[in-house]
Every structure is written in C-alpha cells, then in structure tokens.
Structure 1
C-alpha cells in the first residue's frame, strides 16, 4: 500500500485587482504541479486587507481562472470569513505568553536598525491600540526550496518577534496563510519568489503548532525592464478573459516549457493537458526573476 500523502496545492490571490500575467504564472505553475501529481488544486481568496481590495475583484479573478480553464476543486475559502479562527489561536498564545502586545511604531523600529529588537517583549502591555507579536524562541535560519535548493535566512530576520495582528486590528499574512494551509490540508506551496523571505517564519509557525511542514516551490517572478515585479500596484495590465490562449501559452514558455507553435490554436483544455503532460520542475528557470514585457503578452 502506498504511504504517499495525497497532494494538495493551492492558488491564493489577493483581490486587490484583476489577474495580470504575473499572477497567471503563479496560478498556472501551482495548477500544473498539482495536476501533474494527480493532486487536488484549491483556490483561496486572501481578502485580509480591506483597504487594499478592489470591489468585485474576487469574483473577477474567479471568472478569469474559469476563462483560462483553470478549474479548482471544492469551494473557495475566504480569509475574511476566518477571523474567529485566527483570533482563537492568538488568544491561546496570549494566554500562554507566547504572544504579547507591542506599541513600537515602524519609525521606532527603523531607528533601531530596521529589525524589531524585542522592546515590548516583557512589558505586559494592555491591548488598546497595540499590535500583537509572536515570541520567536526557535528561529528558522534556512529551508530547502524545490527549485532554488538551500536558502539561508539572515539572523536578524529569522530571530525577529513578528506581528500576528496589526494595531489596526487586521490579521497578519504569515499567521493567516499557515492556519489556512493547515485547515485545508495543503501539502505543498507553489507561489512567486517574492514570498521567499517570510517562508522561515511560516515554517516556524508549523513547528510551534506541532503540524507537519509543507514543501515549498517558489516560481520566478515576472518583472519589468526596470526590475519591478509585475503587480496590481504597478498597474500591470489585466490578462484577456476573451482570448486566453496566447497568454496561457506565453505563461508556459515563461515557466520553462516549450509548447509547439500550433498549440496556441488548440482549446484551453488541450493546452493545459499538454502542459500537465510536459510539466517538470527541472525545466523551470532556476532564477527568482525574469524580465517580461507585458505589452507582448
């Protein structure tokens, strides 16, 4: 009998705008990896930060994935509906003094050298107007990435007590993403290389919670000529829902696949089936960023 755990992957966009080529690369890479392993592919909406969200973006993202043939399994998890779970875990840590209230501002931390020095760790401050930090007693200094190999994390970052709830009451990404991945049984995280930096903190959370760690695969980012990540903040153009095939084939090329010329005239289903059949991590460019001109996509 096989002891291999069933593969569960996910794509977790934030609804701050429509999907652009960079987010298509992340969606496609995670989809192909999951399907090539006969696994489950989930979609989660990371709507943690209402001030940055665009009305209607969550639904638009789902319609775009459908137009590109990227069919997900099961229902959609929305982080905005998970606040009670996040707060319950924070309360447990506050009760055990694994977490504490912190009044330090970004300006003060910048003046202290850019990393939080533990100033409020033993002050036992009140809740009002303060952020909540997690005590990092067992820092994670390195991890192995399926594409990039052994990645070291600098000591000041690894050792920093980090925020799990902001002073404005919003929950922090690192906490939410780990609790959600555990809740959904995710076994492997495939995402953009811009999220390499917080990976150590997330592994630390798995360990603190006594949960099995996931594996990580960080895909190359699509960047502009001046080195900026294609992003909603940088006004990257939305991908075309009406004509998905050119961008789909282009994203496969970006991910190191070599689709035949005539594949672009096939259906989205046929294009994706070809991608699943030819997908290999070994074909991925072993870099964290690739220059891409969105006007050509």
Structure 2
C-alpha cells in the first residue's frame, strides 16, 4: 500500500517552531517513502481561530518549500460527514446525549462515570453527545517509542463526539477525515499521545484498520511549557526561513554538514528527504530546543 501522510494544523494562529517540527517530520517521513503528503486545516473551533490564519499557514508552508499533494481539506466543510456518523450511532444506541457539566465530572474524580449512559435523554438542548466505549485501547505501538500506555480511566471513558455548544469533537473528526483521505500513518507531536488511544478505538468501532502512529519530540520553551499558540510561541519567519528550518532539522536529529547553509531552502528540504531515518529522532518525548544565531 502506498504511503499517505498529512499535516493538520488548526488555524488558531501562525505556525511556530513546534508546528514547523511537526510539518517537517511528517513531510520527511512521507517523501522518504515516495508517498503523498496532504494538508488539512482543522478549523473545527471558530471561537479559537484567528482570522486569516489558514491562509497564513499555507503561505508559510510554501515559504519553507513544503509543497503538499492534492487539494487542501478544511474540516469546516465536512460537517455533514461527521453528523451522518453521529446520527447513525445515536440510532443504533452506540452514542447518547449527556447533560453532565465539566464541574460535575471534576467533582467525581475528573473522568466521566457513565452517568447519562442509560438515561435515554431525548432532548439535545444543552447536551453533549458521547460514544459508548466498546473497544478501549490501553496500549499502542508507536513507530519510534515502541509500546506506549494509555491511563485506564481515560481508555475506559465514554468520550464526547459532539460538544454541548454544537461543535464537533476533534477525535471524531480527525479519524473520519483520516479514513476518508486514505491516510496510512499519522506523524505528529508527542502532546497528542493520549488521544491516540481513543482514535484507535474509533477505528475499531468503525470496522476499519487503524493507521500507524509516529509521535515526534515536543518542543518546550525556556519555562518548560510546550511551544504553542496558547503559550504565545512566536511565529516563524516567512521572509527568512532558512535559520528556523535548520534549527528544526537539528531538533529532529539531523547531523548536517557545515556547508548546508549555502544551499537554497528547496535544496535543504531535498537533502532532508534523502537523509531522513527514524533512528535519528531523539529518544526523549520533550526537548527544549537550542536555537542557532538566526542570521541568514
């Protein structure tokens, strides 16, 4: 089966160093296997999105010579796909309405206890929709880190597939999209290790073979927090991409020749594809990057 990978950023802001690491890792993994690399904009949560961020993300990928295959997919245009699956599960009894609040769940230990599972609530107003967990995943195999364990309480939980505010949940959308797009492997940051168990569970509930997973090291700031838009990580430079590109490649474990700075950005990307191998990736799941002098 031919390899199909993807990069799926949310448009809550411009790409930062951590998201560049994820983009490069997924790109190198796909292209080193002569595979396709797709881009999907995960615009499921309008209140958290920044106007113009989706276009800016695509411009950044082009500036870094990360050229995607096919058309860009937007989750905001795929609501019918998600709703159709939810309706099917509601009719079969696999999914149900839940009126429990976060405060109530926190008071019972932080994990949902199945309070509404057998109440047969029929009023969707002010309710979330949960999926009955029939295929809990307690461990999975990561392509780099080997067997990873999911906390039992998390694995057993009936999780939300549609929020009480009417927005579709990430876990549902990402799996349905990956299946629909024929994704064969997901390469992403280690901050998404825990949701992986739920996503593999969804594959089993949908009667589909799960994809393989590769989780890249998470870039941390000097304060020990992950580099993210929420933590105000600075945007990478579109006008002078080479310094951030080389820093991100070093972060991914490349040992690069001194004269690589003389190459163009596209030549550096081509070199990365030819020299990429999983053994180079750091064993650690979290790393504080060391930035070089950002002169060109």
Cα deviations across residues 235-283 of structure 1 (Å, max 9, x unaligned)? 1111110111111111110000111121122111110111011100011
The TM-score normalised by the length of structure 2 is 0.97
Q: Which residue of structure 1 aligns with residue 241 of structure 2?
A: 244
Whether 1:30 aligns to 2:38 is: no
Q: Which residue of structure 2 aligns with residue 83 of structure 1?
A: 79
Cα deviations across residues 38-88 of structure 1 (Å, max 9, x unaligned)? 000000000000000000000000000000000000000000000010000
Whether 1:127 aligns to 2:124 is: yes
Moved over 4 A (4+): 293-297
The Cα shift of 1:293 comes to 5.4
- Pair 1:260–1:92, CA change in 2 (3 A): same
The Cα shift of 1:133 comes to 0.2
Contact 1:8 1:42 in 2 (8 A): yes
193, 198, 205: which one pairs with 1:196? 193
Whether 1:110 aligns to 2:129 is: no
Whether 1:287 aligns to 2:261 is: no
Whether 1:47 aligns to 2:10 is: no
Q: Which residue of structure 2 aligns with residue 170 of structure 1?
A: 167
Stretches of structure 2 lacking an aligned partner (at least 5 in a row): none
Stretches of structure 1 lacking an aligned partner (at least 5 in a row): none
SS of the counterpart of 1:196?
A: helix
Contact 1:7 1:39 in 2 (8 A): yes
Contact 1:245 1:265 in 2 (8 A): no
User: Which residues of 2 match residues 171-186 of structure 1 at below 5 A?
Assistant: 171-186=168-183
62, 81, 91: which one pairs with 1:95? 91
The TM-score normalised by the length of structure 1 is 0.97
CA RMSD of aligned residues (A): 1.0
Contact 1:236 1:294 in 2 (8 A): no
Cα deviations across residues 102-123 of structure 1 (Å, max 9, x unaligned)? 0000000000001000000000
Whether 1:232 aligns to 2:229 is: yes
Distance across 2 between alignment mates of 1:28 and 1:202: 23
154, 159, 168: which one pairs with 1:157? 154
The Cα shift of 1:99 comes to 0.2
Contact 1:21 1:247 in 2 (8 A): yes
The Cα shift of 1:24 comes to 0.2
Whether 1:212 aligns to 2:209 is: yes
